[in-house]
Amino acid sequence: MTNEKRKLPIPEALYSCGTRFGAQYYSYPADKLFWLDKKQGWYCEKCFAAIGAEKGISLAEEIERQKVTK
């Protein structure tokens, strides 16, 4: 069977944390990044724990929300 006739797996998209620290080494799936209103960006759980902030909506949820509204 050729690749044209079967569905090939699509890898999960990965994103860097808003700190950009170590972005070349670390990336996260969309459900592991959350909106931080204070800094207006997407941050990982470690960043939220370090600053003691409450996590906002996940990037995965926002991607789905925008798909629905288009």
Closest listed residue to residue 30, CA positions, set 69, 66, 70 = 66
pLDDT tens string 25-62: 789 999 999 999 988 999 999 889 898 999 999 999 99
Residues 6+ apart with CB under 8 A from 15: 27, 28, 29, 30, 33, 42, 59
The pTM score is 0.77
Token representation of residue 54: 């409450």
**Per-domain residue ranges of the chain:** 14-69
Measured CA to CA, the distance from residue 38 to residue 4 in angstroms comes to 46
